[in-house]
Chain A
Amino acid sequence: MNIEQELKDALKRQQPPPGMTERVMAAIGSRETPAARPSFWRTYRAGLQLAAAAVLIVAVGVGVARQREADRERQQSELAARQLMTALQIASEALNEARNEIKN
């Protein structure tokens, strides 16, 4: 027995019942055609544009806020550095005066 040939015989194509084409076309006809159905973009265009604008505004706002924060921190760092240098300078001068007095 050739099992593969037997399977080919057993699984021959079966024809659909008469009227299958009409049944399919009726089902399709009862639905909207793809052309008549509004696209996703057309349906949600306004909302998507609004959402995109909102995201852009928030992104720009966050960027600006971060930049300002970074600038403020940099300015504070520079001020602290200047103050430290001044303090070191004063301390150095005081030490020099004290050393001179000890020498004399």
Chain B
Amino acid sequence: MAKSLEVAPPRQGLDGFTHIVQEHQAMVFSLACHFLQNRAAAEDLTQEVFVGLFENLHTIQSPAHLKSWLRQVTSRRCIDIARKARLRRFLSLGDTPEPAQEIRLADPLISRRLQTLVATLPAKQRMAVVLRYQEDLDPSEIASALGIPLNSVKSILRRSIEFLRTKLTRQMSEVSQ
């Protein structure tokens, strides 16, 4: 029989679950926010993911499983949204929303351009990059979260980095001229 979650089993009710939300909401929200480039949509998705978690809490076996479940559900939900809404069509370089103002960046110009470029990647590539550089996941963890083979993840990351490097270098050289 599966061992139940020690952090907050369902019988502890809403109080225990509040701690889970407080602990993990930044990860879920930020994944959605970087992926969707839309804070309101990210808030809606965060709420939806945690409601789903509450309904499936009995299936969670450990804190590590909980974190992995949240990453997996958030990633897949983001990709579903991108596919359904065909966000890529609207997220062209010109009309990408401005990133949130409260972010403190090492180099605002480069970071903003990178965020914009990341938003132009296809859904799975985009989520792989966000998981890699926001959550610092290794390729095997990304493969697990996205449900794709490890070699595909490595290939996706390699191609994405190359694409971002080329585009960013070109844009920065245009700016400096």
State the A residues within 8 Å of B (CB): 1, 3-4, 6-17, 20-21, 23-25, 27-29, 31, 33-35
Contact = CB atoms under 8 A, between A and B. Distances in A.
Max count, chain A CB within 10 A of own CB: residue among B10, B25, B133: B133
Contact of A10 (B17, B27, B54, B105): B105
A13 B10 CA distance: 28
Nearest to A8: B133
B7 interface: no
B17 A6 contact: no
A13 B134 contact: yes
A13 to B, nearest CB: 4
B107 interface: yes
B148 interface: no
A27 to B, nearest CB: 5
Given A9-B111, A17-B43, A28 B133 contact: no
Interface string B18-34: 10011001110110011
Nearest to B100: A14
Contacts of B134: 11-13
A10 B51 contact: no
Contact of A23 (B11, B43, B111, B164): B43
A10 B115 contact: yes
B26 A16 contact: yes
Nearest to A24: B50
A9 B46 contact: no
Nearest to A37: B55
A27 B51 CA distance: 7
